[in-house]
């Protein structure tokens, strides 16, 4: 029995126009091109030197876009064995070794195992499966994941005002998806 593969094209950076292939899986919905374009306009096209965490990696579109735009380190967390294997294959095909790390784990388990300021990320991508309470479960762990001056991108089925100590700086809607760029209340908005 063959596995149906889907694809998504990277839209910017060094790997622009490269195609990512990933298995068909329930709840897996890659961030659309138009939304990714908006997100990286908000973040800035050059992420050189930043560390990024894609906590629900899925297709890998957000994490690979960040690496394509110069992020020094991107950690992609994915619970599904088949999807994690596809992420590894895409990382190898792109020559992303050393900058992209694929971790097969549950998001909450991964988040709860992080510790200390040295392990915090500059950018956090949160695009969890909808209607399963992931954001509520992760909210208490956000200070251990994201630097106070960092940015958090969140996709959700409803409009959000905040997530933990991070407030919406920018927002948009595409179809049924609400997307948000959040910054710490203590942040001055700088990267």
Write out the two tokens for 55: 């906590």
Does 104 reside within a domain? yes
pLDDT at 187: 56
Which residues form the domain of 93?
5-184
The β-bridge partners of 126 are 154
Q: Which residue has the higher pLDDT, 45 or 142?
A: 142
Does 67 reside within a domain? yes
Q: 50 by DSSP, 3-state: which?
A: coil
Write out the two tokens for 188: 């001055």
Q: 64 by DSSP, 3-state: which?
A: helix
Q: What is the pLDDT of residues 1-36, one digit of tens each?
A: 555 678 889 999 999 999 898 877 766 667 878 899
pLDDT at 83: 92
12, 69 contact by CB (below 8 A)? yes
Q: What is the dihedral of CA 131, 148, 12, 80, to 10 degrees?
A: -40
pLDDT at 179: 96
pLDDT at 189: 46
From residue 125, give the alpha-carbon distance in Å to each of 2, 5, 65, 176: 31, 23, 11, 18
Does 39 reside within a domain? yes
Q: What is the pLDDT of residues 79-112, one digit of tens each?
A: 999 999 999 999 999 999 889 999 999 999 999 8
Residue 111 sits in a domain of what CATH number? 3.40.50.150
Does 191 reside within a domain? no
Does 190 reside within a domain? no
Does 126 reside within a domain? yes
pLDDT higher than threshold 80 for residue 168: yes
Q: How confident is the model at residue 174 (pLDDT cuts 50, 70, 90)?
A: very high
Does 73 reside within a domain? yes
Does 189 reside within a domain? no
Please tell me the total count of domains within the chain. 1
Q: Please name the helix (run of DSSP H) or strand (run of DSSP E) that holds residue 100, with its range, or none.
A: strand 100-104
Q: What is the pLDDT of residues 36-84, one digit of tens each?
A: 999 999 998 889 999 999 999 999 999 999 999 999 999 999 999 999 9
For the whole prediction, is pTM greater than 0.75? Answer: yes
């Amino acid at each position: 029995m063959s596995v149906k593969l889907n694809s998504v094209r990277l839209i910017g950076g060094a790997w622009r126009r490269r195609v990512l292939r990933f298995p068909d899986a329930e709840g897996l919905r890659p961030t659309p091109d138009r939304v990714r374009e908006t997100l990286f306009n908000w973040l800035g096209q050059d992420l050189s030197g930043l560390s990024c965490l894609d906590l629900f990696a899925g297709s890998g579109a957000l994490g690979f876009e960040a690496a394509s735009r110069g992020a020094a380190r991107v950690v992609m967390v994915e619970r599904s064995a088949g999807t994690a294997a596809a992420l590894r294959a895409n990382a190898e095909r792109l020559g992303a070794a050393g900058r992209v790390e694929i971790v097969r784990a549950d998001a909450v388990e991964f988040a709860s195992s992080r510790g200390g300021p040295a392990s915090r990320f500059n950018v956090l991508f949160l695009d969890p499966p909808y209607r399963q309470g992931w954001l509520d479960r992760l909210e208490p762990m956000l200070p251990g994941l994201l630097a106070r001056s960092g940015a958090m991108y969140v996709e959700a089925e409803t409009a959000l005002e905040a997530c933990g100590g991070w407030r919406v700086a920018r927002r948009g809607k595409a179809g049924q998806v609400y997307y948000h760029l959040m910054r710490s209340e203590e942040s001055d908005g700088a990267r």
